[in-house]
Structure 1
């Protein structure tokens, strides 16, 4: 469902939640990429003033998506930039053999779709709603005009893109240096931080962390470069230890300290 918007600054006040980096959880003692991860998942809208936000979104189109609805496909023209208004958008590639590799998950306030925007080239990745989601689509010409009158915002966007490149690059290094248990622990702690502002729909005990995004075992496998079977067996071990549990299609970290100790030992 798509409709044109004239959004006021007040109507988008809920986007910010005071977040400019990772929300609510500081893992910089156990995660050497916490700063890059924080910058890569920065809430772009919360970095803008209310006036800037209103100016940016006043010509946007609101697109409401059901789970698994496709936003764009590889081969589509890069004519728009997108900002997540709610939910979660999955960005992925598909190999010649049909295997899906998840490159990124974009959460509320995050901007995506910039990479091929200036050339207007064909997109190289797919974007699909991971859950019921809302995105704001802004035409290339409107976005370019906005950046022309707000050069400091251009630098923020460049900073976010640079952090994502660093994060993805270091993820490749992790494939060679971390075992699967370490990769899963790091992923869960990071996503618990990224989704910390979204209230969990389930009962949450004191000290628990909610990884408030629906991920199948295959999704986790795609994100960390492992087989689904290995992810399933590793999560089973973590459940038996009482470290994590699955609650209504998402994961709760019951013992965050255990995962953090694991990451700290791995970084030592």
Structure 2
């Protein structure tokens, strides 16, 4: 792929905010760019090299499978988030996998060792990276608190509230979301069963709180958004 195209993808990502053209071109010479179709694996197949991934376009699901074969969804990411070896020490679980949830998903990736070297000589890049990692910790803390203090219905409502803040579009008082998640996906995110999610969604739909189909989810902003 041409260096100019790699440069443009990198420039659009928030982890490179404030970098000079020369710094972006240096990164473009090291980055790999991958276009991924919906349902395909995101991770690069280049041996045992640990990598840091920048999501430039689309949405990605990060999951693990437990001993019983059940999927645990760790994160659902949107552009422009980061994932992979965020500790930069090669400690990514062998059981973790990343799957594109949308068509034409675009991923930029670096070898962890090379990305670490870039940060050692680029304070702005290092600070941007730290902000992204801090955001991941805040999301993890919030999810843990929800598991401890909220029941499944409250966790579902919290999930919709957060989803609406990140991706919702307004039409008057109505929040509209593009629905790219299955009931199983939502169940994995809020740590309950698929059957419970289906029951709760039907309950909210019958109560007039929410409308949903395979493509869209709609609800009044006063229901979920504080």
Give per-residue Cα distances to partners, 1:5-24, cap 9 Å, x unaligned: 413698349836xxxxxxxx
- Asked if 2 retains the 8 angstrom alpha-carbon contact of 1:8 and 1:54, the reply is no
Name 1:236's counterpart in structure 2: 202
Report how many residues are paired: 222
- Measured in 2, the distance between the counterparts of 1:227 and 1:121 equals 26
Q: Structure 1 unaligned segments of length 5 or more: list them.
A: 17-42, 262-268
Tell me, in whole angstroms, the C-alpha distance in 2 between the residues paired with 1:5 and 1:117: 27
> Taking structure 2 as the reference length, what is the TM-score of the superposition?
0.83
Q: Is the 8 A contact 1:92 1:127 kept in 2?
A: yes
Q: Does 1:255 align with 2:220?
A: yes
> How far is 1:256 from its partner?
1.6
What displacement does 1:249 show? Answer: 2.8
Structure 2, unaligned stretches of length 5 or more?
A: none
Whole-angstrom CA distance in 2 between matches of 1:212 and 1:255: 15
Counterparts of 2:122 and 2:136 in 1: how far apart (Å)? 22
Alignment of 1:86-165 (within 5 A): 86-115=57-86, 117-119=88-90, 123-132=94-103, 133-165=105-137
Provide the alpha-carbon RMSD of the alignment.
Answer: 2.8
Alpha-carbon distance in 2 for matches of 1:100, 1:240: 29
TM-score of the two chains, using structure 1 as the length reference: 0.72
Q: Which residue of 1 aligns with 2:3?
A: 6
Q: Given the superposition, is the C-alpha separation of residues 44 and 190 from structure 1 closer, same or farther in structure 2, using an over 3 Å criterion? A: farther
Q: Could you say if the C-alpha distance between residues 109 and 163 of structure 1 is closer, same or farther in structure 2, counting changes exceeding 3 Å?
A: closer
Q: CA deviation at 1:122?
A: 5.6
1:61 aligns with 32
The alpha carbon displacement at 1:124 in A equals 4.6
Per-residue Cα deviation, 1:42-78 (whole angstroms, up to 9, x for no partner):
x434x344635444334322211111111239xx735
Higher mean C-alpha deviation, range 7-16 or range 139-148 = 7-16
Compare the two structures and name the one with the higher strand fraction.
2
**Structure 2 counterpart SS, 1:126:** strand
Q: Distance in 1 between matches of 2:114 and 2:10?
A: 22
